[in-house]
Amino acid sequence: MTRAWLIGAGPGDVELMTLKATRALAQADVVLVDDLVNPDVLQFARADALVVYVGKRGGHPSTPQAGIVAQMLEHARAGRSVARLKGGDPFVFGRGGEERQALLAAGVDVEVINGITAGIAAPAAIGIPVTHRDYTQGVVFVTGHGAGSGEPDWAALAATRMTLVIYMGMRRLSDITGALLAAGLSADTPCAAIESATRPEQRHALAPLGGFADTVARAGLGSPAIVVIGGVASLADGVLSTAAATTANGANVK
């Protein structure tokens, strides 16, 4: 049976990729690289590997999901081993589940290799422990991308009082914070947004929920970024407490 790997490349910093991931990458005949993967990780691929970029960043047109699966199957059927490199973890908002099912259905042996997901790495990069027990009983990973029927139930999430870690939430940030405030989450709730975490261009913004969307907009933060909402965000670097962190306008931007 031909082999395929669904590999998590981690959040960006090459050193945050696992040994297992680098070893699998070193075996692959073909490497299909996703959007958010730091191209530096290709140093672990074979010099003669065929490398295909299937993401839209860097001027390449985005490849539809069906086309990516078709490419993987085509290579696998031709007897070539395929490494599918994804940002973060392949099974956290990464469509790794769908790809694994398609490969298995076609009789291709698939191995999943975890990566460090941005939802943990990005908060940690500025000192936020997402489950610090003095602040929360747990953490919810949620997509901010959905609109309409795909919209998460923000009121229900607010009621959990858990740390909310939002992926893909930047474009709809003011709608999301508005929904959380409307659901009764305090305007003082500490929040953080971390852009391009663990990369040299990493930036972040901190503000209480009430002024958070404005602060992020003024700081010009955009994708890819992780948003953290909850008491743990008060532990971000340089912040001793929410009160100490806030300037006159309630904002703290780095």
Interacting residues with ligand SAH (CB under 6 A): 11-12, 36, 86-89, 92-94, 117-118, 122, 167-168, 194-199, 223-226
Minimum distance, C-beta of residue 82 to ligand SAH, in the bound complex (Å): 18
- Residues with a catalytic annotation lie at 34, 56, 168
Minimum distance, C-beta of residue 122 to ligand SAH, in the bound complex (Å): 4
**DSSP code at position 70:** H
Are 3 and 111 in contact by the 8 Å Cβ rule? The answer is yes
Minimum distance, C-beta of residue 92 to ligand SAH, in the bound complex (Å): 4
Distances (CA, A) of 245 to 90, 125, 236, 242: 35, 18, 9, 5
- The residues, ordered by sequence, that sit 6+ positions from 72 with a Cβ below 8 Å of its Cβ are 4, 32, 82, 84, 99, 102, 103, 108
Exposure on the CB side of residue 193, measured as CA atoms within 13 A? 32
Minimum distance, C-beta of residue 77 to ligand SAH, in the bound complex (Å): 26
Please, which residues bridge with residue 167 across strands? 143
Tokens of 173: 């940030």
Residue with tokens 């082999």: 3
Concatenating the DSSP letter of every residue in 14-25 gives GGGS-HHHHHHH
